[in-house]
Amino acid sequence: MFTGSYVALITPMNDQGEIDYAALEKLVQFHIEQGTHGIVSVGTTGESATLPFEEHIDVVKRTVAMVGGKIPVIAGSGANSTAEAIFLSEQMAGLGVDGFLSVVPYYNKPQQAGMIAHFNAIADATDVPVLLYNVPGRTVADMLPETVAELAKHKNIVGLKDATGDIDRLKQTQALVEDDFLLLSGDDASSCEFLCEGGHGVISVTANLVPNAMARMCDAALNKEFDQCRRINSEIELLHDALFVEPNPVMPKWALYKMGLIQSAVLRLPMVLPELASQKHIEDILKQYQMISG
């Protein structure tokens, strides 16, 4: 369940800022063809923070239909309000999603006890498996390994997306949870070492651009072919950094636009297009990798 490379899929929009469902279907088919192991729909990279509930739910619903059961779909369902997170989970539980990704509440800065109460309430409200998501760089609040271990006791909480980029944190968590509790990297720059140290997979921004490479990297690590995992990572590591020179998902959208996979790089305000220097930076790397001409 939920091992390998899961793409944190962008949500494509047209020049008017409306969801571009034709482009979304093109991306979904691209990932299926390229060997991506699964899709995370409307997570951070999918602009969950700025999509109203109706759009959020509709994008997930259509993504599930486009996938057609070929690979799993995990739906972003987090919110900084427990009631809103439960509402989203309940609304999407019947759409055919395979799991939920629920982020540590942002802005509120909850205590560890508050996180435990929050996630247990969400997991109690649905039969769909729940992945925790710790990304203190965005939420400020940091879910500690002891808190993860406590939440792992819930039968419906099956894993963690760890975006701390801290391999020591992975080891601390591993020591406290059962072997079948899924540990997924949410930090592309450290994902290779995360996998080599026993992680089960990634939820990746880089996979938006190079899904096949990320899938092969995960397969190599899961087969304990660690040298091969590191070799593949070395071939794409410039992308890991370039995609985060501006806040995600600004750069992956621009890159996909330049690659011709989407028709517009428009984002929902308050996110805007990248600075000209950032555009040139990622374009130079795409040319170096022969992903665009020039």
- Residues known to be catalytic: 133, 161
CA 207 from centre of chain: 9
Burial class (CB in 10 A: 0-12, 13-18, 19+), 31: buried
For residue 33, give both structure tokens: 């063809």
How many CA atoms lie within 13 Å of 281's alpha carbon, on the beta-carbon side? 16
What angle in degrees, to the nearest 10, is found between the helix axes of 21-34 and 53-67? 40
Annotated binding site: 45, 203
Annotated binding site for pyruvate: 45, 203
**Residue keyed to tokens 């995990």:** 74
CA-based end-to-end distance of the chain: 41
Which amino acid, one-letter code, is at 214? M
